[in-house]
Structure 1
């Protein structure tokens, strides 16, 4: 592994107008979105709503993304991508602003649930377009650094979002974070005006409905390593990430403090930022193989928590786990964008996302139920062991090991 010298530097990417404005649009929206889980929790608690309503609000936004993401991928390949991204941002921003109005006015909360469901559907419609749009605003040889910057900012947004909420809460009302999220989407839409349209990559008569999904599936099957990675991703999120995220807060708070859990989340986000930036600046002969090996770090936080380790080992594990996620995202996304024809790129991205995240909500529900029977420690041990087994399954694939795209 060597640091590239001829590869475009990050500053050079920002010198190109289309990428600079596309990145700014994504960056602003990501910060707003990162504030939402904490902002909803604080705002609804302040207003006296029950935890069941909060869970319903979060689920209302998540489930439509999973259900409609594939259809968003079909739309993104069949239509110009920039108008689709603009429309999605406007709908998302409006939905968040109306949600605030419903919450603070005391109107029927079902309207807020409807707004969040609309928000989820709109994200599902717009995200595949952003995935497929990047090759329209940067050359193929610059996709690695461009993806690294976007992934790195995703990690930075995870740090900034809770800070934004904390500031709004300190100023008197966490609901202001929801207002800022809505405005961030509208500003993001404005920044996209005038950029390349990201023309449709399939003809109107081709690949409609189920036929389009089959085309995306066939394109994905041409990358067997991606199919294997998508399956492994789904099991890691189900059996590793979900148990740690559900059981970790209580265990860390009990053994250390609530502030310790907040610190661990910030360190994970910092690691993700560093991993993303570093992976965008290195030339790897086998990037997918390296990405697969990096997933081993995902098993460290549940392992140390199961061992009853103190804050320092857990903190180091979180930094490494975050770095692995950041590097994995950049390396795999870049490999897919370089390997999949443009006419299928958005569909493949949507299928991979749905496959990876479909079981995460199930993990959130099952982990506490199983832990109530077995206790949390066996689940955490299982999470660590499953991570190692998953990586072994990945690297056992010769096509994955030898891929050099």
Structure 2
């Protein structure tokens, strides 16, 4: 018997009005989010600000998100999720619109940094609710296909987002792409109107505050493989993804051209789209083992760069790496949503996200420092090697190898 996720079709899902509207809401918001990094980079450059200010703007949104995500998880398990998602989307949209107004009017940039910090806090409040809401608008056997559609669109949005920014840039004002993001949040909130509230999933014995956090941690410990995967995720982002993202643009531009790096990012997004859609339909008996093994592909891009490979091998590596990220996200999210009690789902999702991404900003800072000492090539060789070590650590866990997920009778 295979896991339940393979038996739900995309057409069946999209025929359901609650999921269709939830999916469209997420799709609109994801396009706006995908436009932001490029929009900030082009806007800050056009306004004459240094790369330090750009890094500050990006960090201003990421750090509050990491810091407050766990509190968002606690809240999302104790209140109705749809109103929380609506409030988060409206707040995020207003923060982005105010940021645009500050940038285009030449106001003090510290106010824009503050807006991005508020934006990060609002994302932290809404993201766990979004993760925990999915089981409220689809049947259990549909979770795999639902995650596949959302994950696939995440890759599709990554393709469309930079194109949106490019269009605004061609019209002379890339900052307006941030306004597009703000408007997408407001539209996403409107699309959620009338959907199931996603009632609070609270255990009658549970408490708030530290006790709720402890309950989430205990629920996460019930899935020992998830703890191990979260730790491995954090090391891969720190030692593999961050060095490639920081050192890759310079090496690719030096060896080929700046346009090649943009192409590689698009290929990664295309791979993520395909990997997400395909993985949700595969009848996998051991979905978590398959997810762990898929991470091997993340070592291919740094390996190709370290070996001085040309455009064709790098392109294939990026597609495979994107496919691995898409498949990994769909498979792990589906199993977690099937396995964790609803009253702890948002907290577990938040804890896992924090554990995975907490060290990514550190990697962005460490990579250029280490490269200045040892050179970029040894660092990329080490990144590729660490990917193999990480997958080996995961595969050595007998509980992970033997986990078969939930089945249908």
Equivalent residue number for residue 327 of structure 2:
327
Equivalent residue number for residue 103 of structure 1:
103
> Do 2:3 and 2:404's aligned partners in 1 also have CA atoms closer than 8 Å?
no
| SS of aligned partner of 1:40 | helix
Compute the displacement of 1:216 (Å): 0.2
Moved over 4 A (4+): 1-6
Equivalent residue number for residue 13 of structure 1:
13
Partners in 2 of 1:2 and 1:224 — Cα distance?
22
Of 52-61 and 160-169, deviating more is: 52-61
Of 227-236 and 42-51, deviating more is: 42-51
Compute the displacement of 1:219 (Å): 0.2
Partners in 2 of 1:374 and 1:234 — Cα distance?
23
Compute the displacement of 1:206 (Å): 2.7
Equivalent residue number for residue 177 of structure 1:
177
Equivalent residue number for residue 257 of structure 1:
257
Partners in 1 of 2:119 and 2:193 — Cα distance?
21
Q: Deviations over 1:214-255 (max 9, x none)?
A: 000000000000000000000000000000000000000000
Equivalent residue number for residue 237 of structure 1:
237
Alignment of 1:325-364 (within 5 A): 325-364=325-364
Equivalent residue number for residue 76 of structure 1:
76
> Do 2:2 and 2:285's aligned partners in 1 also have CA atoms closer than 8 Å?
no
Equivalent residue number for residue 52 of structure 2:
52
> Do 1:268 and 1:321's aligned partners in 2 also have CA atoms closer than 8 Å?
yes
1:313 correspondence with 2:313: yes
Compute the displacement of 1:326 (Å): 0.4
| SS of aligned partner of 2:317 | helix
> Do 1:301 and 1:321's aligned partners in 2 also have CA atoms closer than 8 Å?
yes
Equivalent residue number for residue 138 of structure 2:
138
Alignment of 1:190-339 (within 5 A): 190-202=190-202, 206-339=206-339
Cα root mean square deviation, aligned? 1.5
Compute the displacement of 1:4 (Å): 9.4
Q: TM-score, normalised by structure 2?
A: 0.97
Taking structure 1 as reference, are residues 50 and 333 closer, same or farther at Cα in structure 2, changes over 3 Å only?
A: same
Compute the displacement of 1:155 (Å): 0.7
Taking structure 1 as reference, are residues 178 and 317 closer, same or farther at Cα in structure 2, changes over 3 Å only?
A: same
| SS of aligned partner of 1:34 | helix
Partners in 2 of 1:207 and 1:239 — Cα distance?
38
Of 87-96 and 39-48, deviating more is: 39-48
Compute the displacement of 1:55 (Å): 1.4
Partners in 2 of 1:16 and 1:253 — Cα distance?
47
Partners in 1 of 2:253 and 2:263 — Cα distance?
11
Unaligned 5+ runs, structure 2: none
Q: TM-score, normalised by structure 1?
A: 0.98
Taking structure 1 as reference, are residues 203 and 286 closer, same or farther at Cα in structure 2, changes over 3 Å only?
A: closer
Partners in 2 of 1:6 and 1:230 — Cα distance?
25
Taking structure 1 as reference, are residues 199 and 2 closer, same or farther at Cα in structure 2, changes over 3 Å only?
A: closer
Equivalent residue number for residue 366 of structure 2:
366
> Do 1:147 and 1:334's aligned partners in 2 also have CA atoms closer than 8 Å?
yes
Q: Deviations over 1:255-301 (max 9, x none)?
A: 01111111111000000000000001111000000110111111011
| SS of aligned partner of 1:24 | helix
Partners in 1 of 2:400 and 2:6 — Cα distance?
26
> Do 1:152 and 1:272's aligned partners in 2 also have CA atoms closer than 8 Å?
yes
Partners in 2 of 1:5 and 1:37 — Cα distance?
33
Unaligned 5+ runs, structure 1: none
Partners in 2 of 1:205 and 1:284 — Cα distance?
36
Partners in 2 of 1:125 and 1:186 — Cα distance?
16
